[in-house]
Amino acid sequence: THDDSIRDIVTDGVAGFIVPQKCNGFGEKIAVLADNEALRFKMGKTGYDNHKNFTLSIFETHFLQALLCVFRE
């Protein structure tokens, strides 16, 4: 579903689908994936590959950089 932070992880139509938080469109996207095995695998692989950008180590590095930036000001 659409959420401000989800767009950092999922690119609509590439690693998944972004749909409104209400049910509108959700069933349609499920049907698209159910009918298209190649798309399911492609999106799954892209999502898996993208998860490497969201490891704890990367988060810690970015968080530390942000803190250092704040304390330098």
- For residue range 1-58, what is the model confidence (pLDDT) as tens digits? 455 667 777 888 898 988 877 767 888 999 999 999 999 999 999 988 888 877 888 8
pLDDT at 52: 81
pLDDT at 8: 73
Predicted model pTM: 0.62
| Residue type at 18 in one-letter notation | I
Find the angle CA(30)-CA(36)-CA(38) to the nearest 5 degrees: 125
| Residue type at 68 in one-letter notation | L
Q: Convert the pLDDT of each residue in 56-65 to its tens digit.
A: 888 888 889 8
pLDDT at 50: 84
